Amino acid sequence: MTLQTLPTLLRRSDTIATYGMLVAGVVHTSLTPIFKPTFDQDALWFAGTGLALCFLAGLNLLRRTTAHPSTRWFGRAANVVGTVYLLVVAQTLQAPHVYLVLAFVGAATINSFIRSTDRQPLPERV
């Protein structure tokens, strides 16, 4: 591996982490009727967790494709909060799928602080 391939690998890992979160969120939300067959507060919280993962993935897609600094900082903050939350969930549930989602969110968090994974602002025209 050379230094020239490192930005490509970082972008690729960021892509895998972001779309992994999105797929995990969609699967989690779509499994709500199976795991929570009655429409009650537990079912809403279960579905809401999947929707939150989808929202976090959407923020990461914005962070990766938008050059505005506030978008990058908001995405970073959301990733840190998501990682801390999933660390607590992983300690509580200790299930393999939770560790997988934690790996996706953790990788996105690390990648969000590395500038080469974000789109850089275009130089101003004069």
Contact call for residues 106 and 84 (beta carbons, < 8 A): no
At residue 2, the pLDDT reads 61
In a domain, 63, yes or no: yes
CA distance 45 to 51: 10
Q: How many domains does the chain have?
A: 1
89 pLDDT above the threshold of 60: yes
pTM (2 d.p.): 0.86
The whole-chain average pLDDT of the chain stands at 90
At residue 1, the pLDDT reads 59
Q: Both tokens of residue 38? A: 């009655």
At residue 4, the pLDDT reads 64
In a domain, 104, yes or no: yes
Helices assigned H by DSSP within 6-124: 6-30, 32-35, 41-65, 69-93, 96-112
Residues 6+ apart with CB under 8 A from 55: 25
Mean pLDDT of 58-73: 89
In a domain, 6, yes or no: no
In a domain, 11, yes or no: no
Percent of the chain's residues with pLDDT above 90: 73
CA distance 30 to 94: 22
In a domain, 61, yes or no: yes
In a domain, 7, yes or no: no
Identify the three-state secondary structure at position 3: coil
In a domain, 8, yes or no: no
Identify the three-state secondary structure at position 4: coil
Give me the domain span that covers residue 34: 16-117
16 pLDDT above the threshold of 80: yes
